[in-house]
Amino acid sequence: MNTSTLLKEIHEQPAALRRLIDAESEPVARLARTLKERECQYVVIAARGSSDNAARYAQYLMGAALGLPVALATPSLHTRYGARLRFEGALVIGISQSGASPDICTVIDDARRAGASTVAITNHPESPLARAAEFTILLHADVERSIAATKTYTTQLAALALLTLSMANDHAGLAILQTVPDAIEATLSLDDRMRAIAGAMADATAAVTIGRGYHYATAWEIALKLKELTYVVAEPYSAADFQHGPIALVRDDFPVILIATAGAVADDLTMLSLRLRDLGAHLTAISDVPAILEAADHPVLLPVSVEERFAPMTAVIAGQLLAFHLAHARGLDPDNPRGLRKVTETR
């Protein structure tokens, strides 16, 4: 039996999401009412690493559900260039599993002083980030010991969904969110499938990950896991951007990982999958769309189909498992990736 800390924490994700939803639903509902009364006009999110990928998810979710533009913060403007940004009418969210990154805390400090509503999403209630923000949403993921974020990433997605749906008074969406932990549990059954695909990719030195819409964030997160754990140069792309030049990378047997579930962009991604097949790509498709799975060399059928806006919480599980098994297939230790620490305190 594999005793990897990383694999153990991948499998802890259903329980972590259930804890978050149970503990935070009522406090977040109250927070949502407060934020709605303040009539925030736009959102700025400060984050790094996997947390930054969660922010990309929020760009789609909050934009679609609330009609609010969502921008990613530029922390160096605060810490290196001394800029004094205007935050009138802003909701500013800091996302960090540790809550210890000084540059993220500085963005929240500056925004709060400028009069913005500020929210920390973190796993640590006594962290500097939690102290800096006016409001805090805790992840309830328990201690995450693995270097690569897994359960704190999916709980960040769930926390953002909980906040957004509560602000939108979307009770049907909140009910669906309650079912996502079960869908994640079912997705963990893909472990053997991802091990087999990892074996076929063991010699890869480069790859691209492609998503669109809500899965733009998933493409970024899977690429990050591949870089962190396997040292494959994996570059994430929007399906739309990929066709504006980077598709020239594709040659015979070039590894492409496409994340494409049913929803508004499925038809576009189906056409792209066929084009990638014709170009000779070595295509892995994480999907529930039959035509896309049929085009793939390595189809990965998600065992549970969930609504598009929740699918990043399930599809990323397949990517986490792929990165874990690919590290082993390449003779690497996924619990000890070189040059990395659990907490990176950028300034």
Nearest to 4 by CA among 233, 317, 229: 229
Nearest to 85 by CA among 55, 122, 46: 46
DSSP designation for 305: -
Nearest to 11 by CA among 293, 245, 324: 324
Contact at 8 Å (CB) between 227 and 234? Answer: yes
DSSP designation for 200: H
Angle at 265 between CA 221 and CA 72, to 5 degrees: 45
Nearest to 151 by CA among 194, 181, 193: 181
In the sheet with 117-122, reading across from the earlier edge strand, the strands are: 70-72, 42-46, 90-96, 117-122, 135-138
Exposure b/e, 1-30, CB count within 10 A at least 16 = b: eeebebbebbbbbbbbbbbbbeebeeebbe
Neighbours of 211 (CB within 10 A): 31
Residues recognised as catalytic? 342
